[in-house]
Amino acid sequence: MANPYDKAHELASVLKESEEFTTLKNLHDEVNSDEVAKRMLDNFRNVQMELQQKQVQGAQITEEELQQAQQQFQLVQQHETISKLMEAEQRMSQLITDINKAITAPLESLYGLEEQGQE
């Protein structure tokens, strides 16, 4: 019988060698080596985190804060490397989501969650 922990470590190794991860790592390294790009991305992520924290705490997000976040997003999208990094992050996130679905499929089947979702 296969040990799930061994398979998890094997999957981690496969992910680390995947094209998605390699692309993500290379772009991450490229952004971090560019002081301007790193600062832009850090500022954008800080604004994102602040807004998320406010939402979690139930605080109202102002129109000014939303506009600032949109401006930061537009700014980072204009930077080619950051834009590519964000696309690579989305691809990796989708890959992890797909893997998670495959991993949880036996539990969904066991508990009938597939049937409930189809009703």
The predicted-structure confidence for 67-87, as pLDDT tens digits, reads as follows: 989 999 999 999 999 999 999
Q: What is the pTM of this model?
A: 0.81
41, 85 Cβ separation under 8 angstroms: yes
Confidence (pLDDT) at 3: 92
Confidence (pLDDT) at 1: 81
Confidence (pLDDT) at 119: 47
d(CA 48, CA 72) in angstroms, rounded, equals 9
Quickly count: other Cβ atoms within 10 Å of residue 83's Cβ.
13
Q: State the fold for domain 4-118.
A: YheA-like fold (1.20.1500)
Average pLDDT over residues 29-52: 95
Confidence (pLDDT) at 91: 97
The chain-wide mean pLDDT, for the chain, equals: 92
Confidence (pLDDT) at 23: 97
Confidence (pLDDT) at 115: 54
| Long-range contacts of 42-51, Cβ-Cβ distance < 8 Å, separation of 24 or more | 43/72, 44/72, 44/73, 44/75, 44/76, 47/72
